[in-house]
Amino acid sequence: MLNQSYTFKILWLCIIFSSCLSSNPYESAQQKLAPIYPFKKPAQKGDWLYTRIDKYQSLNDYIKSKPTSTDSIRKKIYIMLIGDFDSTQKEIVTGTAEYLHAFYGLQIDFIEMRKDADIFANSRKHPTQGQLQLSAKQIMNVVLKPQLPKDAATLIALTNYDLYPENSWSYIFGLGSTKERVGVWSMYRFGDPHKKEQKEQCLMFTIKTATHEIGHMFSLPHCAKYECCMNGSNSLRELNSHPTYFCPDCLAKICWNLNQDVHANLERTENFWLKRNNVTAKEVYQKSIERLSK
Ligand SMILES: [Zn+2]
Ligand SMILES: [Zn+2]
């Protein structure tokens, strides 16, 4: 039987331990933000989650998984362009780079692809549509990995060619490695930015896919709990229905990983949308900042 003073010591230790847990600023932000973010809508036929289960991962599980992160040397996001981009397409690239800087809070640099890089190895013609498709895995393994700069947290390629991940798939918007710090995404299916009515939507799709793939590169899995930028997408319709923002769970994970203040992240991202006058996104950030300030 425990004596009384020993029991009190254990009680005090429990109180101290539980107060440590609840003072974790990322967990606390997650809890404060949770009530204002909508849960994931039930999947419709053809949606990513209609035939798949994306397992829930808590903040603690993410921490325990030792995710890919930045360090004192690896602290930039590099972007490599694959294909010829005209000035209109480059505006989409610049807008996306600005968003990535706001959201991830890291310096964004561009890197030129080596002239001898073989982007067409394992490329194919789409089985029914006929267009040339680059192999996303080939780009990651043969083009990006050998050029990964020493100070890169991640290196992501943006291409205007269509992509496929493996022969049984029709296409893919993007692919990011959760361990090897490389990824690739494509603008091919995001509409024609030269058409005025499609330009903003092309930017939104590009931002969503880049943010999502870089999330994977920082070892975030797909999110199935909330409507979230880390939701899996099977189609442009589904991608269109996903938000640009991260849910409270994914936001807490990425801010913990990059050692960033959640409030500062929300303010930077809100400023990006304020400049672009995007009413929907800006409302989410305003509400979130208000919740965190309480
Ligand atoms: Zn994904
Ligand atoms: Zn999420």
Q: What is the pLDDT along the chain (294 residues), one digit of tens a residue?
A: 444 554 444 444 433 344 344 459 999 999 999 999 999 999 889 888 888 888 999 999 999 999 999 999 999 999 999 999 999 999 999 999 999 999 999 999 999 999 999 999 999 999 999 999 999 999 999 999 999 999 999 999 999 999 999 999 999 999 999 889 999 999 999 999 999 999 999 999 999 999 999 999 999 999 999 999 999 999 999 999 999 999 999 999 999 999 999 999 999 999 999 998 887 777 889 999 999 988
- So what's the pLDDT on residue 23? 58
- Expressed in angstroms and rounded, the spacing between residue 128 Cα and the centre of ligand 2 is 34
- Expressed in angstroms and rounded, the spacing between residue 106 Cα and the centre of ligand 2 is 20
Taking the CA atoms of 157, 160, 166 and 169 in sequence, report the sign of the dihedral they define: positive
Counting Cβ atoms within 10 Å, is residue 73 exposed (0-12), middle (13-18) or buried (19+)? exposed
- So what's the pLDDT on residue 48? 87
d(CA 65, CA 61): 6
Asked whether the beta carbons of 160 and 83 are under 8 A apart, the reply is: yes
- For ligand 2, a single-atom ion, the residues with CB < 5 A are 223, 228, 230, 247, 250
What SS3 state is found at 102?
Answer: helix
Domains and their CATH numbers in the chain: 24-66+225-232+246-294 (no CATH), 68-219 (3.40.390.10)
- Expressed in angstroms and rounded, the spacing between residue 252 Cα and the centre of ligand 2 is 9
CA 70 to chain centroid: 15
- So what's the pLDDT on residue 126? 96
d(CA 162, CA 267): 34
Asked whether the beta carbons of 242 and 228 are under 8 A apart, the reply is: yes
- So what's the pLDDT on residue 193? 95
- Phi, then psi, of 271 in degrees rounded to 5: -60, -40
- So what's the pLDDT on residue 19? 39
Ligand nearest to the CA of 48: 1
- Expressed in angstroms and rounded, the spacing between residue 99 Cα and the centre of ligand 1 is 18
- Expressed in angstroms and rounded, the spacing between residue 55 Cα and the centre of ligand 2 is 12
Q: Pairing relation of β-strands 132-135 and 124-125?
A: antiparallel
d(CA 143, CA 115): 10
In 56-111, which ranges are E strands? 76-82, 107-110
- Expressed in angstroms and rounded, the spacing between residue 205 Cα and the centre of ligand 1 is 14
